[in-house]
Amino acid sequence: MIKDLQAEILRLKKEKNITILAHSYVAEEIQEIADYTGDSFKLSQLAQQDKNDTLIMCGVHFMAETCKILSPEKKVILSSPCAGCPMAEQVSADELIELKKQYPDYTVVAYINTTAALKEHCDVCVTSSSALEICSKIENKNILFIPDCNLGAFVKEKLPEKNVQLINGGCPVHAAVKEQAVLDAKAAHPDALLLVHPECKPEVCKHADYIGSTSGIVDYAVKSDAKEFIIGTEISIAEHLQYICPDKKFYPLSKNLICADMKSTTLVDVYNCLTGNGGLEINMPDEQIKRASVCIDKMLELG
Ligand code: 13P
Ligand code: SF4
């Protein structure tokens, strides 16, 4: 049944010249039918370069918005209309305008997990895989990092030459992991390496053998000679790694590391988008696209 639906999706997307992008956190059966999979930075670059006129984003709302900003002439459809990122909604444009008054000489760096309305007021975007490189290339010493204080703290620690101002925001899924979970996992698997996403709290990250984006974690585990890994990011990454590296062992750092929004996309959602009966088409005023694109273009230029 799943195979039949996948075959029909592959047939339809080829017939209609439609590209499917899938973030690494969505279900494995969706990644299997996608043209591109990966972390948010990789997907945003591929969406820009892709030749097809229609893109289906299997991920969350800000990722589809990012595709639209980069390719305004394309039709961009979010496969699961209800898939948002709670972190992206944490700061409103009005709040940022007020913050900028408090920090007038700061370069505003926004994690890409933000709304287009917020991006209009930011100087440069970063993703988890590009944050360090981009922040190191910003000329200004003063950086106001929004909204993820954990990714921001990671940047602050690695770039002591910068004056990084953080705000109180973050991913509710990653930030919920406690240091005790690390101690328990390490006690249960003493030979395993700990790989974590920088959205985790500093007290979790400090125990890590590697800190990086979802693609970074996958690449590290695939290339490593080690045989056991504790995976500190969304649970699908541990599952995916177990599937592609059957000779190694992967343990989720916490079984609560589940992003319900990323998991809301189903194969039926993708099929309905292809038949024109589902999904959410992303539309934004031209002026908003123009203003929000400034910080995304800057990210692609520096990253
Ligand atoms: P990546 O930048 O690793 O794709 O992360 C996106 C995300 O939403 C992580 O929670
Ligand atoms: Fe947003 Fe966290 Fe889900 Fe990523 S894992 S989409 S940051 S809520």
Question: Hey, where are the domains in the chain?
Answer: 2-84+262-283, 93-171+290-302, 177-255
Helices (H) and strands (E) in the chain, counts: 14, 13
From residue 279, alpha-carbon distances to 19, 270, 298 in Å are 14, 8, 29
Q: Kindly state which CATH superfamily the domain 177-255 is placed in.
A: NadA-like (3.40.50.10800)
Q: Which ligand is nearest to the CA of 127?
A: 1
In one-letter notation, the amino acid at residue 89 is: E
Ligand 1: atom nearest CA of 112 is 2
Whole-number Å distance, alpha carbon 106 to ligand 2 midpoint, is 26
Contacts of 133 (CB under 8 A, 6+ apart): 302, 303
pLDDT at 101: 97
DSSP code of residue 151: H
pLDDT at 129: 87
Identical topology for domains 2-84+262-283 and 177-255? yes
Mean pLDDT by 10 residues, the chain (303 residues): 95 97 93 91 83 95 93 95 95 95 97 95 93 96 98 96 96 97 98 98 98 93 98 95 96 97 97 97 96 93 85
Q: Kindly state which CATH superfamily the domain 2-84+262-283 is placed in.
A: NadA-like (3.40.50.10800)
pLDDT at 45: 80
pLDDT at 44: 76
Ligand 2: atom nearest CA of 199 is 7
Q: Are 282 and 273 in contact (CB under 8 A)?
A: no
Rounded to whole angstroms, the Cα distance separating 68 from 72 reads 5
Structure tokens at 178: 């406690």
Q: Which ligand is nearest to the CA of 235?
A: 2
pLDDT at 173: 97
Task: Pick 93-171+290-302's CATH classification: 1.10.357.10, 3.40.50.12780, 3.30.365.10, 3.40.50.10800.
Answer: 3.40.50.10800
By alpha-carbon position, which residue is closest to atom 8 of ligand 1? 113
pLDDT at 95: 96
Q: At which residue do the structure tokens 């080829």 appear? A: 14
Whole-number Å distance, alpha carbon 157 to ligand 2 midpoint, is 22
pLDDT at 98: 96
Ligand 1: atom nearest CA of 40 is 4
pLDDT at 278: 94
Q: Is the Cα dihedral 37, 39, 44, 46 positive or negative?
A: negative
Q: Is the Cα dihedral 228, 233, 235, 240 positive or negative?
A: negative
By alpha-carbon position, which residue is closest to atom 6 of ligand 2? 85
pTM value is 0.93
Structure tokens at 223: 């290339």
